[in-house]
Amino acid sequence: MGIAYLTTDPKPGDSDNVLLAKILQSLGGVPESGDLRNNLLRKSLEQWGGSFSPGDWDHRILWKILESLGGVPRLGDRHYNLLWKILEDLGGVPRLGDTHNNLLRKILERVLVLAPVNAAVNSFVTRAGISSQTQIDALLVLVEAAIAHGWWDLCDLIYPHVGATAGAHAQNLKSSNFTVTWAGAVTHNVNGITGDGATGYGDTGYNLRSSGQITLNSGHVGVYQRTLPTGAGGKHIAGAAILGDAFFGVSRAFSGAFTGNVNELTQSSLTNSVGFGALSRISSTGKSYFLPTGSTTDATSSINTVNLTLFLLARNLSGVMNAPSNGNVAGLTVGSGITSAIYQLMKADWQTFNTANGRQV
C-alpha cells in the first residue's frame, strides 16, 4: 500500500527510513508500507535514471546513485562517504560531524529544491531538442537561481535562446506556452537571435493585456543584449504598440539610447549598453530603467495595457511588424514589475548563464 506524505519537508525526529521515503516521494516515486532501506534506495535509484541488479545491497545502490548523478565513487567508500558525495553532487554542503541522519536530511532538502528546477529544465530541453550538457547545466543553474532569487515567479516569459536553432530559440523556459513564431530573416546560432533590421522578427503569442501577470501598473521586459542595434531610425528589441493608446517594450532610439514604455505613450531614455538591462513599472506614476551602466526613474503615468502580442526583434504596431532590430539578443524575460534589487539579481544570474555558454559580454 502506497504512502503519500502530505508534506515531504524533513521533520524533527524523522528516522533514516522516513527520510529515504520522503526523498523517494519527492523524486516522483511511490514508497510502500513496509519498504526497507534497500527497497527505498532501489526505487530512488530508478528515479535518478539508474538500474539495479538482483542482490545489490545498500552500499552498491548508493554507489550507483552517485554514478547516476555524475559523481565518482572510490574503492573503500563507505555508506557515509557515499552519502557525503551524493549531497555534494546535489549542491548541498556536508559538515564534519554530520551523522547519517543529518546527511539524509540535507539530501532531502536539496531534492526538494531541485525538483521544480529539474522539471522545468527537463521540459524545456525536450521541447528545444537540446543535447549539450554544458547548456543543460547552465539552464539548471539559471532556473535554481531564478527561483532562489525570487524572479522566477515574476515572469511569464523566459527565453534563454540556447540550442542554436529556430525551434530551440522559440521555446519558453517558464512553461510550454508562448512558443515564438519566427518570420523573415532571423539568424539563429550559439550566440542567440539576431535580426536583419529589415524583415526578421518573432511573435511570442503573448498578449500583454490578457496572457499573464502584466497589469496596468505592473510590468517588465528584460533583455540580454550582446550587440546593440545599429543603423538609421528606431530599432525595437521587443515590443508592441497602438498609436494613441499605449506602448510596451524596449528599443534603441534614433539617438542610440535605450528607450522604452510600459503601458504609456511617453517615451524616456537612458544611455544604452550591452549586458542585461530591464524596463519596469511597479506603480501608476513612474517606471524605471536598469542597465549595467546605471539606472533612472521617470515620472510617467500608466494609461492602458497594450492589447497586442509581444514581438521580438521588432515592434508589433497594431498587428504589423515595425522598426525591426539588427542587434544580437541572448536572453529575454517578461512579466510583472521588478524592483532594483530584483534587477541586480537577474543581471548577475543572466551574466552567469551566458558566461557558462561562452557568450558573455
Tens of pLDDT along 13-22?
Answer: 999 999 999 9
Task: Name the nearest CA neighbour of 265 among 242, 235, 296, 298.
Answer: 242
| Gap between the Cα atoms of 93 and 14, Å rounded | 20
Distance CA 211, CA 7 (A): 31
Spatial distance between the Cα atoms of 220 and 337, rounded to a whole number of angstroms:
5
Which residues make Cβ contacts (< 8 Å) with residue 229, sequence separation at least 6?
Answer: 197, 235, 237, 251, 252, 325, 326, 327
Parallel, antiparallel or unpaired: strands 315-317 and 235-242: parallel
Number of Cβ within 10 Å of residue 25's Cβ equals 22
Q: Return d(Cα 23, Cα 27) in angstroms, integer.
A: 6
pLDDT above 90: residue 80 = yes
pLDDT at 121 over 80: yes
User: Which ranges constitute the DSSP H helices of the chain?
Assistant: 16-26, 37-47, 58-68, 79-89, 100-128, 133-148, 166-169, 340-356
Q: Which of 283, 308, 279, 287 is nearest to 208 (CA)?
A: 308
Lowest mean pLDDT across 20-29, 45-54, 220-229, 252-261: 252-261
246, 264 in Cβ contact below 8 A?
Answer: yes
Q: Considering the chain, what percentage of its residues have pLDDT values greater than 70?
A: 100
All CATH 2.60.120.200 domain ranges of the chain, comma separated, are 131-356
- What is the pLDDT at residue 25? 95
Q: Is the model's pLDDT at 359 over the cut of 70?
A: yes
What does DSSP assign to residue 9? S
> CB under 8 Å to 232, separation ≥6 — which residues?
254
What is the rounded CA–CA span in Å between residue 87 and residue 107? 5
pLDDT for the residue numbered 159: 98
- Are the CB atoms for 260 and 325 separated by under 8 Å? no
Task: Give the model's confidence band at 1: pLDDT under 50 very low, under 70 low, under 90 confident, else very high.
Answer: low
Fold for domain 131-356?
Jelly Rolls (2.60.120)
Asked whether the predicted pLDDT for residue 254 surpasses 80, the reply is no
Confidence grade of residue 247 (pLDDT, cut at 50, 70, 90):
very high
141: left (phi over 0), alpha (psi -120 to 50) or beta: alpha
pLDDT digits (tens, 9 = 90+) for 291-348: 999 899 999 999 999 999 999 999 999 999 999 999 999 999 999 999 999 999 999 9
SS3 state of residue 213: coil
Which of the four pLDDT bands, split at 50, 70 and 90, describes residue 256? confident
Distance CA 171, CA 179 (A): 5
Length of the chain: 361
**Res. 2: pLDDT tops 80:** no
Query: If you average pLDDT over every residue of the chain, what do you get?
Result: 95
Distance, CA of 81 to CA of 63 (rounded, Å): 10
pLDDT digits (tens, 9 = 90+) for 265-307: 988 788 888 999 999 999 999 999 999 998 999 999 999 999 9
Average pLDDT over residues 94-115: 95
- Cβ proximity of 320 and 313 under 8 Å: no
So what's the pLDDT on residue 6? 83
**pLDDT, position 168:** 98
Q: Which amino acid is at 263?
A: N
pTM over 0.85: yes
